[in-house]
Amino acid sequence: MDRIYFTKKQARQFLLLKHGLLGDYKFVGKEGILSFIRQAGCIQFDPVDVCGRNADLVLQSRIKDYQKTMLYELLYIDRKLVDYFDKNLAILPIENWKYFDRERQAHRSWERSHTEIVEVQERVREEIARRGPLCSADLDIAGKVSWYWSDTRLSRAALEH
């Protein structure tokens, strides 16, 4: 077997080029976003916005002419990406959704507050069907439940579920 040798500098340059962080833009527009996320597998989707959301910062550094609306459209209009829990909240290509079925099944078996959530899930679905996209504050569901890191509103847990 032939071996390939390269210096640390060459390895660094390769990784920077591969991830679109060196040289001219490798990724452009919405198709560039899809290409990058497919190459990377996923990107972290942290909704906290201190100086920009993580996903936007990652993409604006790699995608020529990146606009936040592009990611929103790919997620919620074009439905070519999906946000899902993959070691952290992540954005991944919709075609990879099927590979997470085993994870979803396992998750259901240890889920906290499952009984309370099941009791309101049909009501949540009906509200979304009637009113369109909603956040937890839009739902008139009282109560708190035990959730991942701490107690949270039942409406939030039901939407996340």
β-bridge pairing 89-93 and 27-28: unpaired
Q: Which residue's structure tokens are 């198709």?
A: 31
pLDDT in tens, 44-59: 998 788 888 999 999 9
**Model confidence, pTM:** 0.67
Q: Is there a contact between 81 and 119 (Cβ–Cβ < 8 Å)? A: no
Q: Work out the pLDDT band at 62, boundaries 50, 70, 90.
A: very high
CA distances from 147 to 4, 153, 157, 158 (A): 49, 9, 7, 10
pLDDT in tens, 36-46: 999 999 999 98
- Evaluate if residue 140 carries a pLDDT over 80: yes
Q: Is there a contact between 136 and 153 (Cβ–Cβ < 8 Å)? A: yes
Average pLDDT over residues 59-67: 95
CA dist., res. 37 & res. 81, Å (int):
9
CA dist., res. 161 & res. 147, Å (int):
10
pLDDT in tens, 86-116: 667 899 999 999 988 887 777 666 666 778 8
- Evaluate if residue 71 carries a pLDDT over 80: yes
Mark out the alpha helices in the chain (DSSP H runs).
8-18, 29-40, 54-60, 68-72, 101-110, 114-131, 154-160
